[in-house]
Chain A
Amino acid sequence: MRIFPALMTNRFWPIALALGLLASPVFGQPNEIRKSVARITNTMEDANYRLPWLPGSMATGSGTGWVVGPDRLITNAHVVSNARFLTVEKEDDPKKYIATVEHIAHDCDLAILKVQDPAFFKNTKPLLLGGIPELESTVAVFGYPIGGERLSVTQGVVSRVDFRTYTHSVLDSHLTIQIDAAINPGNSGGPVLQDGKVVGIAFQGFSGDVAQNVGYMIPTPVIAHFLKDIEDGHYDRYMDLSISITNTLNPAMRKGLGLTDDDRGVMVSSVQSAGVCAGKVKVGDVLMSIDGHDIASDGMVELDGERVLMSEVAERKFLGDEVKLGILRAKQPMEVAVKFDRAWPFLMQANSYDTQPAYVLFGGLLFQPLSRNLLGAYQFQSDRVNYFYDNFVSKEIYKEHPEIVVLSAILPDPINTYLAEFREGIVDEINDRKIRTLKDAADAFAEKPEFYVIKFIGHARPLVLERSAVEAARERIRRRYNVLAEQNLTPTEFTSASR
Chain B
Amino acid sequence: MRRTILLFTCLLFTAAQGLRADDVKAENPSSVVRVNVTNQPWDFAHPWGKHPPYSRRAIGTILAGNRVLVTAELVANANYVEFETAEGGQKVPASVEVVDYEANLALLKTDDPDFLKPYKPLELTHANIGDTLSVWQLESNGALLVTKGPMTTAEVTRYPTDDSPLLVYRMTTPLQFRDSSFTLPVVKDGKLAGLVMRYDNTTNNAEVLPAPVIEHFLTDAKKAPYEGFARVGIVSSPTRDPQFRRYLGLTAETPGGVYIAEVLSDGPAAKGSVEQGDVLLEVDNHPVDSDGNYKDEEYGKIAIAHLFSTKRYDGDGVKLTVFRKGAKKELTVTLKHRPVESYVIEPYVNDRAPKFYILGGLVLQELSRQYLKEYGADWQKKAPEQFVYYDRQQNELFKNGPKKIVFLNRVLPSDLTIGYEELGQLIVTRINGVTIQSLADVPQALEQATDGLHKIEFDSEPRFIYLDAAAVAAAQGDFQRKYRLPAMQRLD
Contact = CB atoms under 8 A, between A and B. Distances in A.
Are these two chains actual partners, yes or no?
yes
B386 A387 contact: yes
Nearest to B243: A466
A321 B420 CA distance: 35
21 contacts: A249-B419, A250-B465, A250-B466, A252-B465, A252-B466, A252-B467, A252-B468, A252-B471, A253-B465, A255-B453, A270-B463, A283-B463, A383-B392, A390-B385, A395-B460, A418-B238, A451-B243, A453-B247, A459-B261, A465-B243, A469-B243
B226 interface: no
A252 B416 contact: yes
A451 B247 contact: yes
Contacts of A465: 243
B237 A461 contact: yes
Interface string B382-423: 000110110011001000000000000000000011111000
Given A256-B455, A283-B463, A458 B393 contact: yes
A270 B246 contact: no
Given A269-B462, A383-B388, A461-B261, A253 B419 contact: yes
A454 to B, nearest CB: 11
Contacts of A250: 417-420, 465-466
Contacts of B385: 383, 386-387, 390
B386 A391 contact: yes
Contact of A394 (B241, B419, B460): B460
B247 A269 contact: no
A131 B247 CA distance: 69
A418 B242 CA distance: 9
B461 interface: yes
B235 A460 contact: yes
Contacts, number: 90
Nearest to A270: B461
Contacts of A459: 261
Interface stretch (A156-164, A240-248, A439-447): A240-248
Number of chain B interface residues as a range: 35 or more
A56 interface: no
A248 B416 CA distance: 13
Contacts of A387: 385-386, 389
Interface string B414-458: 001111100000000000000000000000000000010101000
Contact of A464 (B247, B396, B463): B247
Contact of A460 (B247, B276, B462, B466): B276
Nearest to A248: B419
Given A394-B460, A395-B460, 7 more contacts: A253-B466, A255-B466, A256-B455, A387-B389, A453-B247, A458-B393, A461-B261
Contacts of A252: 416, 453, 465-468, 471
A418 B246 CA distance: 14
B54 interface: no
Contact of B466 (A247, A256, A269, A418): A256
B244 interface: yes
B468 A460 contact: no
B419 A247 contact: yes
B299 interface: no
A224 interface: no
B313 interface: no
A151 interface: no
Contacts of A386: 385
B259 interface: yes
A251 interface: yes
A384 interface: yes
Interface in A264-278: 267, 269-270
Interface of A: 244, 246-253, 255-257, 267, 269-270, 283-284, 383-384, 386-387, 390-391, 394-395, 415, 418-419, 421, 451, 453, 458-461, 464-466, 469
Interface string B105-139: 00000000000000000000000000000000000
Nearest to A363: B243
Given A391-B386, A418-B240, A458 B461 contact: no
Contact of A269 (B237, B388, B463): B463
B446 to A, nearest CB: 14
A395 B386 CA distance: 11
Interface-centre pick from A391, A461, A466 (highest chain B CB count, 10 A): A461
Contacts of A383: 380, 385, 388-389, 392
Contacts of A461: 237, 259, 261
B465 A418 contact: no
Contacts of A419: 241
B207 interface: no
A418 B419 contact: no
B84 to A, nearest CB: 45
Nearest to A246: B462
Q: Which of A252, A253, A386, A419 has the most CB of B within 10 A?
A: A252
B289 interface: no
A32 to B, nearest CB: 51
A458 B396 contact: yes
B282 interface: no
Interface in B119-166: none
A313 to B, nearest CB: 21
B261 A460 contact: yes
B262 interface: yes
A267 B462 contact: yes
A251 B468 CA distance: 8
Contacts of B241: 418-419, 464
A405 B393 CA distance: 20
Nearest to A470: B243
Contact of B418 (A249, A255, A391): A249
A364 B238 CA distance: 21
Contacts of A256: 451, 453, 455, 466
A464 B243 contact: yes
